[in-house]
Amino acid sequence: MTKVGVLVGSLRKNSFSSKVAKNVVELFPDGFEVEFVEIGNLPLFNQDWEEELGTPAEVTEFRHTVKGLDAVLIVTPEYNRSIPAVLKNALDVGSRPYGESVWNGKPAAIISQSPGTLAGFGANHHLRQVLAFLNMPVVQQPEAYIGSVHELLDENGMFNNDTRQFLQSFVDAFVDLIKKHTK
């Protein structure tokens, strides 16, 4: 079984990002186990954890969970033309101590969403910059920018066929990338 973790860059109860993520989870083929990874319970990263403070239990558990994944899907909104702090914090938390990053080498895929028409382009590309440094191969094409998201989701939080078909092609590309890196 190939394990994919989903990180959602919003803590909002009715988050569009989590609705998008729920649609995408359904599109993985047999042989893939897809699970949401909680990031809202993580304390703000503090480098003193590595010295006098010691590592908080939630952090140890998060690192352990991510270590056990084969790949990571990130669905995120854009905050002020970048990624939300809660997502950056989770990436920072998993990247330390130096040389022990749990992200290293894990294939990743990015979906940005927004009710606006720019579809989180800024967040999408800031995230690409971070994942490049974390040595994570990222799906390049197709790129997934979901704009006007509130108009695309129906009352049950589901996408129409066109959007679902696009997202299926995105998941197919992700699955190919994962297979290339997990032989």
Residues near ligand FNR (CB under 6 A)? 10, 12, 15-17, 77-81, 114-116, 118, 120
Q: CB of 181: closest distance to ligand FNR in angstroms?
A: 28
Residue 82 C-beta: closest distance to ligand FNR, Å = 7
- The nearest distance, CB 120 to ligand FNR, in angstroms, is 6
Q: Which is nearer to ligand FNR, 118 or 173 (CB)?
A: 118
Helix, strand, coil percent values for the chain (each to nearest 5) = 40, 15, 45
Nearest to ligand FNR of 56, 116 (CB atom): 116
> Which CB, 53 or 85, lies closer to ligand FNR?
85
| H or E segment to which residue 129 belongs | helix 121-133
Cβ contacts of 8-15, under 8 Å, gap ≥ 24? 8/36, 8/39, 8/74, 8/75, 8/76, 9/74, 9/75, 9/76, 9/77, 9/83, 9/84, 9/86, 9/87, 9/123, 10/76, 10/77, 10/84, 10/86, 11/40, 11/86, 15/77
- Could you give the maximum distance between any two Cα atoms of the chain, in Å? 54
Q: How far is the CB of 125 from ligand FNR (least distance, A)?
A: 12
Give the residue nearest to ligand FNR (CB).
77
Q: Which is nearer to ligand FNR, 101 or 113 (CB)?
A: 113
CB of 123 to ligand FNR, least distance (A): 7
Nearest to 76 by CA among 125, 3, 136: 125
Minimum CB separation of residue 54 from ligand FNR in Å reads 32
Closer CB to ligand FNR, residue 2 or residue 15? 15
Q: Identify the sign of the CA torsion 93, 97, 102, 107.
A: positive
Rank residues 17 and 23 by Cβ distance to ligand FNR and give the closer one. 17
